[in-house]
């Protein structure tokens, strides 16, 4: 007679293996969901603290919180942009550490502009990123790179005539009178056009 006990044992073992596998999968998935929700909660708390400081113009104090958010989410373009703006807009007298912060802001804004360019070659958001990238390079003492950034800003968004004005100011500071004069005329023409369009 055929003995069914080994078959039953194999089926029982398979069933228990299946249960154990499902339990471990569920445990692993739950842990991932918990870690993800903990990370989101942490980011939200950091964001709330940074926002409360920014609302009271305590930009410098908000930077550690914005840095932490950016460390947790390095590919979050908006987090990078907010951190870069805070680094540029600190209150107090400019110092050597401020120049270092401007270089850090330029590095972050370069990444932000690259991410935005993946979406579109033109648009106000990309123009804004390039504008602040120009400011960061200018404040860090790299006037030539700032000019290129302001040119890119204007190419990305023709309403960013402040980028043309900043090019004019930099060229004047560098003593390039003919370039400065041309940029000044371009700015005046564009400003008149913008006012007449309003």
Arithmetic mean of pLDDT over the chain = 85
Q: Identify the top-confidence range among 2-6, 50-54, 95-99, 176-180.
A: 176-180
Lowest-confidence pick of 36-40, 124-128, 175-179? 36-40
Token pair 């600190």 in the structure block, residue: 90
- pLDDT band for position 63 (cuts 50, 70, 90): very high
Lowest-confidence pick of 2-6, 32-36, 105-109, 154-158? 32-36
Q: Which CATH class is domain 42-197?
A: mainly alpha
**Mean pLDDT value across residues 43-54:** 89
Listed residue (97, 115, 22, 192) closest to 123, CA to CA: 115
Q: Residue 191 above 80 pLDDT?
A: yes
Give CB contacts under 8 A, 24+ apart, made by 33-38. Answer: none
- DSSP code of 75? T
The pTM score is 0.77
Give CB contacts under 8 A, 24+ apart, made by 173-178. Answer: 173/143, 174/143
**CA 170 to CA 151: how far, in whole Å?**
12
Q: Residue 120 above 80 pLDDT?
A: yes
Token pair 């106000």 in the structure block, residue: 124
**CA 196 to CA 26: how far, in whole Å?**
64
**Mean pLDDT value across residues 169-198:** 90
Q: Residue 16 above 90 pLDDT?
A: no
To the nearest whole percent, how much of the chain has pLDDT over 90? 62
pLDDT per position as a tens digit, 67-112: 999 999 988 999 999 999 999 998 776 678 999 999 999 999 999 9
Question: For 145, how many CA atoms within 13 A lie in the half-sphere containing its CB?
Answer: 15
**Mean pLDDT value across residues 135-159:** 97
């Amino acid at each position: 007679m055929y003995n069914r006990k080994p078959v039953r044992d194999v089926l029982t073992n398979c069933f228990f293996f299946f249960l154990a596998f499902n339990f471990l999968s569920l445990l692993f998935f739950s842990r991932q969901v918990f870690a993800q929700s903990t990370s989101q909660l942490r980011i939200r708390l950091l964001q709330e603290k940074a926002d409360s400081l920014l609302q009271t113009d305590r930009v410098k104090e908000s930077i550690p919180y914005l840095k932490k958010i950016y460390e947790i989410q390095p590919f979050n373009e908006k987090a990078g942009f907010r951190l870069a703006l805070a680094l540029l807009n600190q209150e107090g007298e400019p110092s050597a550490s401020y120049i270092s912060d401007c270089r850090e802001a330029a590095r972050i804004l370069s990444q932000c502009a690259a991410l935005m360019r993946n979406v579109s070659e033109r648009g106000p958001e990309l123009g804004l990123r390039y504008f602040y990238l120009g400011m960061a390079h200018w404040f860090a003492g790299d006037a030539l790179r700032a000019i290129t950034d302001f040119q890119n800003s204007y190419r990305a968004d023709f309403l960013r005539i402040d980028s043309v004005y900043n090019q004019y100011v930099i060229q004047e500071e560098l003593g390039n009178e003919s370039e400065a004069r041309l940029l000044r005329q371009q700015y005046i023409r564009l400003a008149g056009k913008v006012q007449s369009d309003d």
